[in-house]
Chains A and B, each alone.
Chain A
Amino acid sequence: MTARTGGSFILDDPAPLVDALRADGWRVIGPREGDGAIVYDEIETAADLPRGFVDEQDGGHYRLRESGNDRWFDYVVGPQNWKKWLFPARQKLWSATRTADGFDIDPEKVEFPKTALFGTRACEIAAIEIQDRVFDNGDFADAGYRHRRENTLIVAVQCARSAPTCFCSSMNTGPRAEAGFDIALTELEDGGFFVECGSDRGAEILDRIDATAADAAAEEAAQAVTEQAAQMQMRSMPENIAGLLKDSLDHPRWAEVADRCLSCANCTLACPTCFCSDVEDVNDLSGDHTERWRVWDSCFSLDFSYIHGGAVRRSTLSRYRQWMTHKLSSWHDQFDTSGCVGCGRCITWCPVGIDITEEAAAFAAEPAEPADAGGLET
């Protein structure tokens, strides 16, 4: 078959696509069932995919159960996200060895085989595009991140359902991915997949598969699938939240949420756009060998805001406020976009179920007087 960007096809199941990717030399990372959740790990065949599972999500609550049908992708996003692969939790940057007259530096070479991110959802594509701006903004590029992204192919799955924690519709990031993928799959209501080709690289893969061209009815059916997912969404983000938060720095709501917040950092570490890291140096006992590592960090840790003499944000209140105002407000000033894609992970994976949409709604319901920055709690 001859595929081209913008073309669409029909496929019975995802197996030939996984096989074609691997035959073309791509490592395939995709959803798998692991420890009672959907995790992202290497898959060898479509049989590794968690077919027939569906998730149940709410604030601080996640259960994966068998759906009773044989649909492939009825679960939505789980605890992990693609930054695990593109922006690893721990990276060695370089090592150094003492010499007779100084020291030698040995930069760490980033090894990232060409990798297909299989089953990426619309909100996750939006999150990857946000991290692209953070790590590679034209003026500055993280060489390791750029290398990994250049070797990445995205096979999207368009969502057929939403969890109660999903709010991508209100963030304009989903549930239908319009771009940002090489190939996209929509699992149709009556079985079979509507396949969209989003790039020349995607076309090269699709050329290896025996698929039939899709007709207008199939395209309509695919649109209906994501439309149905959008209509299932129960949560949303107030449209004016960015401006609202700027005026709410002294709002009494911060103290209420700080009472419930564990400052455990789960929200930031589960978030697909949070990008903060710490750099640590380690040396061996002899002091002759040193390594520099980059490790995920969180604005919820005390050391995160440590400057000479102490931490700037000592209270949980100030840390929650920093996270939420950065994510939803000052991120726009910094990166021309919200830092939130509406995936709902921070809601589900908060051990006590703090809900960012509920907090945002509270600020919208009772807007505060503009803040007096001099009196802010640290």
Chain B
Amino acid sequence: MAKLKLAVWKFASCDGCQLTLLDCEDELLEIAGALEIAQFLEATSAIDDGPYDISLVEGSITTAHDAERIRAIREKSKVLITIGACATAGGIQSLRNFADVEAFTSAVYAHPDFISTLKTSTAISDHVTVDFELRGCPVSKHQLLELITATLAGRMPRVPKVSQCTECKLNGTVCVMVAKGTPCLGPVTQAGCGNLCPAHGRGCYGCFGPKENPNPQALSAQLADLGMASRELRDFYRTFNAGAPAFAEESKSHE
């Protein structure tokens, strides 16, 4: 059987998620052996015009040109998978969705008229059909490998949409919110990072975006009881997944 063709694409992003693929050091040769890497500019300058069996898409849509480009990629891809908070929720750059982009460009650039950008930063799934979304800022190497392995085996990847609290409890991490009063987004955030922050005594920053049916309103009420002001609450939800609908909506209610 011919090897499946893999393409890796970048939109508005920092490249960290596609670099996670190169970070799969021990497994990298095996991945390269199992797939034909047809397009992956971070790894090779060779370009194959497609079509592709699997496209991994990093980054958000922030320009009209990119909105066109993702449609062309979708047309050439059998399976399209988005990786990382930019591609799945608009990324940190979706902070522009809550502000006036023209005010930014005129304050930052000597010639703002040279800047051609959309008023919003949006997820890939707002523009084309996405077959699977892999969350995280950046994505977890473990989940990325599971995604590739499962795709090759023709099964659903095992990427639970449960809370970060689940990771804490499975790892025996003491709840920082209950035991220390530390503000934490864990109860509304999807697991998958490997329990990074709570295991080091920090609250969860929500890098993996909203969990399945999240209840940020109930969490905010408790965070307010712990002493967070309304503006702090607004900003708490406005980081890497600011554009994710559940977080965006909750942050707006604290404006």
A residues contacting B by CB (< 8 A) are 34-37, 39, 60-64, 79-80, 84, 89-90, 259-266, 269-270, 280, 282-287, 295-296, 298, 301-303, 314-316, 348-349, 351-353
Q: Is the CB of A296 within 8 A of B178?
A: no
Q: Is the CB of A263 within 8 A of B215?
A: yes
B145 CB to nearest A CB, Å: 8
The A-contacting residues of B in range 11-33, CB under 8 angstroms, are 27, 30-31
A293 CB to nearest B CB, Å: 10
Contacts of A270 in B (CB 8 A): 169
Q: Is the CB of B179 within 8 A of A35?
A: yes
How many chain-B residues does the 8 Å CB contact rule pick out?
43
Other than the given A89-B169, A264-B187, A351-B184, 9 more pairs (CB < 8 A) read A84-B172, A259-B218, A262-B219, A266-B165, A285-B145, A295-B170, A298-B162, A351-B186, A352-B221
CA distance A262 to B252 in the complex (A): 19
Contacts of B178 in A (CB 8 A): 60-62, 79, 348-349, 351
Q: Is the CB of A280 within 8 A of B175?
A: no
Residue of A nearest to B164 (CB): A264
Contacts of B212 in A (CB 8 A): 263, 301-302
Decide if B201 is an interface residue (CB 8 Å cutoff).
Answer: yes
Contacts of A298 in B (CB 8 A): 162, 166
Q: Which of B149, B179, B186 contacts A283 (CB 8 A)?
A: B149
Contacts of B221 in A (CB 8 A): 260, 352
Q: Which of A62, A265, A316, A351 contacts B222 (CB 8 A)?
A: A351
Q: Which of A64, A259, A265, A316 contacts B165 (CB 8 A)?
A: A265
Contacts of B217 in A (CB 8 A): 259
Contacts of A283 in B (CB 8 A): 149, 153
B176 CB to nearest A CB, Å: 8
Q: Is the CB of B201 within 8 A of A352?
A: no
* A60-B222, A283-B149 given; A266·B170 CB < 8 A: no
Q: Is the CB of B179 within 8 A of A37?
A: yes
Contacts of A303 in B (CB 8 A): 160-162
Contacts of A284 in B (CB 8 A): 149
A-B contact pairs, 8 of them (CB 8 A): A62-B179, A89-B172, A260-B221, A264-B188, A264-B211, A282-B146, A301-B161, A303-B162
